[in-house]
Structure 1
Amino acid sequence: MKLDLVNSFLSWRMKKRYHQLELFMKYPHEVQAEVLQNLLGTAAQTEWGKRYDFKSIGSNEEFRDRIPLHRYEDIEPEVQRIRDGADNVMWPGDIRWFAKSSGTTNAKSKFLPVSNEHIEDCHFKGGKDLLSIYCNLYPETTIFSGMNLRLGGSTFVDNEEINSYYGDVSAIIIENLPFWVEMRSTPSNKISLMQEWEAKIEAMSTTSMREDVTSLAGVPSWMMVLLERVLDISGKKHIIDVWPNLELYMHGGVSFAPYRSQFKELIGKDINYLETYNASEGFFGIQDQKESEDMLLMLDYGIYYEFIPMDQFDGTNSKTIGLEEVKLNTNYAVVISTNAGLWRYLIGDTIRFSSISPYRFRISGRTKHFINVFGEELIIENAESALTATCNEMGARIHEYTAAPIFMQRKESGAHQWLIEFEQEPNSLEEFAQLLDQKLCGLNSDYEAKRHKGMALKPLEVISARKGLFYDWLKQKGKLGGQNKVPRLSNSREHIEELLALQT
């Protein structure tokens, strides 16, 4: 009875927030204009506020004209000063949390400032809105009668003298959760934030099996590792035999398409899935419809958005447009200004709007993670769609993959080489490669043109990776767990050559 009351009360609280979501859906441009003015007013007395005279900026156009676009390389010296203890640099007050970006496996990491306002008004708000949307979609939910199993990263001391920390953004959120959320989460913070990944998986599996888990949250590739271990320890066939009241999986970080069928098989029944776009730089989107995987752009989280059409993209020399100017089915690079002190910052992701009333979108790729060696302009969205369709037709399942170019050799055309770790291999790898090639041609006219008569591109090549190859590669780089992920597409052969060296 007590758990029923808790579930009813929390469900009611979450549904109330939905009316505020409807407000920014109805007045998106006004909300965004207000966000920008609040950001500028709050940061007016910081070093950056004085440098660019924030208090005199009166319009969105003036903001774009006065402040240049930035990549991480441009702001790294300022971030380092903040990490060393400088205050009021890009955002007022002292910042003692830094999200270590794991969007790539490059040796050089990014440390993105995370202010208290950013934690409260962006990430926490996003978590509450995710549950609010879920309760609105599924009014009869009993999700709050049980526990949420969250799978995140770890935090580390950054500067002991000033008591600052860095880590995966998911770990920063866990570290700062209010007590009432912690009470409904499993495992404890002590286990959730363990730094040794394999020991953490073991402890999480053992501890969480004793709980009534009703929801899961985490990156799909790592959540699969955890669920497989739970089944190993419990001796059960399906996750639903361990947690019979499981009803929701909240996921993000990588495309869910290659994992959907595997999760259904692991869990043993259909549950509900909601996708989020919660990155190191901010919480940007939430899936808000049952029938569509498009995500709602969250406009009142202290983030001001600008966009660059990818056919006009020229790095920090690009011209941006505002939300009111975006068009459907066009790839845009995302530029943000945030309540953590990022100003006109290129996050490196691209999105494509599927609706403008309200603004809904899908992640289409990365400004850097694509293959365009031969003018084929292959983006992640194409790759994921083609792989999903090919697997469905051939009864295959994929665990991880990466792709890179095979460069032209004098009179010999180039090609794409795909290294795929299968959960279930196709009967014929050759037929799989042929079908994947056909699907890519159907999805991408530039790829199809370069494949015409093999003049620029020969048929793609698929190599079946041994079991555990990508895991071993990430482990070798110290990148296990959290939001670390395998780069799907690359214009160079650096990653794929390292993986092939570990293949045997």
Structure 2
Amino acid sequence: MLQTFGKAFNTLFYNYLSRRMGEIDHFLNHPISTQKNILFQLLEKAKKTEYGQFYDFQSIKSIHDYKNKIPLNKYENLEPFIKKMQLGQKNVLWPNQIKWFAQSSGTNSTLPKQIPITKENLQNCHYKGGKDLLALYYRENPSTKLFSGKHLIAGGSTSLTPYSKKTHVGDLSAIILKHLPWWCEWRRSPSNVKKLITDNWEEKINHIVTHSIKDDVHIVAGIPSWIVLILQEIIKKNKVKNIHEIWPNLELYLHGGVHISPYMQKLKELMPSSKMNFFSNYNATEGFFGIQDKNNSDDMLLMLDYGIFYEFIKQENWNEENPKTIDLEDVIIGETYELVISTNSGLWRYRLGDTVQFTSLHPFRIQIIGRTQQFINTFGEELMMHQAEIAVGAAAKYSNAHVCEFSVCSKLLSNEKGIGLHEWAVEFYKKPNDLDFFSNQLDNELQKVNIDYKSKRKESKTISAPKINLVKKGTFYQWMKKHGKLGGQYKVPRLSEKSIYIDELLKISASN
């Protein structure tokens, strides 16, 4: 019966693809006018809200007016409005009453953010992005049999907590599951996963490992570290060499959240089939922003018709109190920008904290670079998260090693050559035969991807060679468990100018 339904869904998706491709082609060909229309649709929709009346949305006639009238916002600026909404007040940042609030995982921040999720945001952003992701894959791989099988998603918590009599807070994955149509739940592996409401991530992993082996899984999706954990457990429990012995029709891994490079060697060991495709997407709590649309590509289309208006802040202006933003039409390939978004969930000129680079302007394609709070510039090296991830992945490949997780910080030196160094904590699935060789390769790869790092490493006058600490297996897992960050949406802090994460990781490793 699954195959019969699958054929029907393949036909339905082909019809959706044909219609949707016309819409996508329109914004690819008319990106600037599409974005302008999105902004004025948002303003029209919210003009009678408390926020819209205070800033007189109705009087805004241009993008220039919008920037002059509306201040840039961080979460703390919008939090008083969000609190009103959570208590049930209507028409605050967005029309009507908002019932759902998604708790952001907060990789760096100590307090989680609770982002309003509107019906428009669910339907026209998150769900639309999910459908487009599969539609774009279908266009690139027309012979796919994806929809004759099931998909396994390593998401976050499925429980929702009442905030007031009228509102609830939970992970975005819980809100999405709450509103999924029946046919999406029917295709999910293991079935009835929404009934597993426990917040114990280890119990969830065991449930997935035990029950998903019965299904014909064609797609797996989630952050690489958690997918590796699930696949390893399934392979170990069933005493097979790789996951294709359990799921022979598996063909697609959908990933996001972090760069895949450090994990690629391990993922290919677990999923070695030549028919496997790896597709990335950029889906955050605040919105669905980007989708990979080409096989073997390392960038994503910036999706311009999801009810999100984009602005960008140059890196040189990140620390200014009121930085200037630039429009989509003014971005440059290779520059690093902080994203500013105005959305159909009532986030107005919201500084997301994520950073991107454009790889193409026709159409607009992006790569995720990291976060404004996750980079190291202690010695003027301007090391970004994606540079560290690419370098680690390359070093692992050359060293025949499989990296599990890593974190790096900068440290000042007192009596040694150079002013300071980068200290790393690295956990391996498979250790390199020669850790010094891995360290040298990592240093060389960092110099390839970052010219500022290379100049500071010259003759070790500013930055000495990296210090690599090999931590025991399970160290990063224990760190996340200790901090209540077990779950499919959580990520380990990669880069920091403080040694707090490295020190704690080394302490955990020593005590294991």
What is the letter of the counterpart of residue 397 of structure 1?
Answer: H
Aligned to 1:211: 215
Q: Secondary structure at the match of 1:503?
A: helix
Tell me: CA distance 1:464–1:53, structure 2 relative to 1, closer, same or farther (3 Å). same
Checking the alignment, whether the CA contact within 8 Å between 1:83 and 1:158 is kept in structure 2 is: no
| Deviation by residue 1:93-137 (Cα, 9 ceiling, x = unmatched) | 111211211141543111111111101110000001001101101
Gaps of 5+ in 2: none
SS in 2 for 1:383: helix
Letter paired with 1:463: N
Match of 1:463 in 2: 469
Question: Equivalents in 1 of 2:34, 2:391: separation in Å?
Answer: 37
Give the TM-score of the pair, scaled to structure 1: 0.96
Per-residue CA shift, 1:10-57, capped at 9, x if unaligned? 331342222211111011111100000000000101111011101110
- Measure the CA separation in 1 of the matches of 2:65 and 2:494: 38
Contact 2:471–2:509, Cα closer than 8 Å, also in 1: yes
- Looking at structure 2, the residues matched to 168 and 18 of structure 1 have their Cα atoms a distance apart, in angstroms, of 31
Instruction: Give the one of 423, 428, 437 matched to 2:434.
Output: 428
Q: Which residue of 2 aligns with 1:102?
A: 105
Q: In structure 2, the residue corresponding to 1:183 is in which secondary structure?
A: helix
Please tell me whether residue 418 in structure 1 is matched to residue 424 in structure 2: yes
CA distance in 2 between partners of 1:234 and 1:178 (Å): 32
Distance change (3 Å), C-alpha of 1:434 and 1:197: same
Could you say if the C-alpha distance between residues 4 and 375 of structure 1 is closer, same or farther in structure 2, counting changes exceeding 3 Å? closer
Residues 435, 448 of structure 1: alpha-carbon distance in 2 compared, 3 angstrom cutoff: same
Question: Is the 8 Å Cα contact of residues 71 and 346 (structure 1) preserved in structure 2?
Answer: yes
CA distance in 1, matches of 2:183, 2:6: 16
User: How far apart are the structure 2 equivalents of 1:191 and 1:424?
Assistant: 36
Structure 1 residues 103, 288: closer, same or farther in 2, change over 3 A?
Answer: farther
Take 2:197 and 2:308, find their aligned partners in 1: how far apart are those partners?
A: 28
CA distance in 2, matches of 1:192, 1:331: 41
Shift of 1:157: 3.9
Paired residues for 1:131-150 under 5 Å:
131-150=134-153
> Separation in 2 of the partners of 1:33 and 1:311?
26
Residue 226 of structure 2 is aligned to residue 232 of structure 1: no
Question: Who is 1:57 aligned against?
Answer: 60
Q: Which of these residues, 188, 205, 219, is aligned with residue 201 of structure 1?
A: 205
The one-letter code of the counterpart of 1:499 is L
Match of 2:359 in 1: 354
Which residue does the alignment assign to 1:404? 409
8 A Cα contact 1:133 1:288, kept in partner: yes
Tell me how far apart the structure 1 counterparts of residues 187 and 406 of structure 2 sit (CA, whole Å).
35
- Amino acid of the structure 2 residue aligned with 1:234: N
- The aligned counterpart of 1:499 is 505
Picking from 309, 315, 330, the partner of 1:310 is 315
The amino acid that maps onto 1:420 is V
**In the alignment, residue 435 of structure 2 is paired with which amino acid?**
L
**TM-score after normalising by structure 2:** 0.95
Residue equivalent to 2:448? 442
Contact 2:6–2:149 (8 Å) recurs in 1:
no
Residues 1:170 and 2:170 are matched in the alignment: no
Q: CA deviation at 1:8?
A: 3.2
**Alignment partner of 1:89 is 2:95:** no
CA distance in 1, matches of 2:127, 2:399: 42
- 1:76, CA displacement in angstroms? 1.9
Deviation of 1:196 (Å)? 0.9
What secondary structure is seen at the aligned counterpart in 1 of 2:505?
A: helix
Between 1:107-116 and 1:72-81, the stretch displaced more is: 72-81
Q: Give the drift of 1:458.
A: 1.4
- Deviation string 1:363-414 (CA, Å, 9 cap, x unpaired) is 1121110011111111112211211221121111111000001124377621
Query: SS at 2:376's partner residue?
Result: coil
In 2, distance between residues paired with 1:482 and 1:411?
41
Deviation at 1:167, TM superposition (A): 2.3
Is contact 2:158–2:177 with CA below 8 Å preserved after alignment?
A: no
Shift of 1:4: 5.3
Match of 2:124 in 1: 121
Q: 1:445 and 1:5 mapped to 2: Cα distance?
A: 51
- Residue 11 of structure 1: which of 10, 13, 17 is its match? 13
CA distance in 2, matches of 1:160, 1:371: 37
Q: Summarize the Cα distance change of 1:411–1:240 in structure 2 as closer, same or farther, 3 Å threshold.
A: closer
Q: 1:10 to 1:194 in 2, by over 3 A?
A: farther
1:219-368 equivalences in 2 (<5 Å): 219-270=223-274, 271-368=276-373
Alignment-mate amino acid for residue 8 of structure 1: N
The worse-fitting range, judged by mean Cα deviation, of 285-294 and 153-162 is 153-162
Q: Return the alpha-carbon distance in structure 1 between the equivalents of residues 197 and 377 of structure 2.
A: 39
For residue 102 of structure 1, what is the amino acid of its counterpart? S
Q: In the alignment, which residue of structure 2 is the partner of 1:38? A: 41
In structure 2, what is the Cα distance between the partners aligned to 1:334 and 1:457?
A: 30
Deviations 1:211-270 (A, max 9, x none): 111111211111111111211222222111111111111111111111222112112313
Quote the offset at 1:278 in angstroms.
0.1
Q: Residue 194 of structure 1: CA displacement?
A: 3.5
- CA distance in structure 2 between the partners assigned to 1:418 and 1:474 by the alignment: 17
Asked if 1 retains the 8 angstrom alpha-carbon contact of 2:100 and 2:169, the reply is yes
Aligned to 1:391: 396
Which position in structure 2 is the counterpart of 1:369?
374
Report the secondary structure of 2:375's partner residue: coil
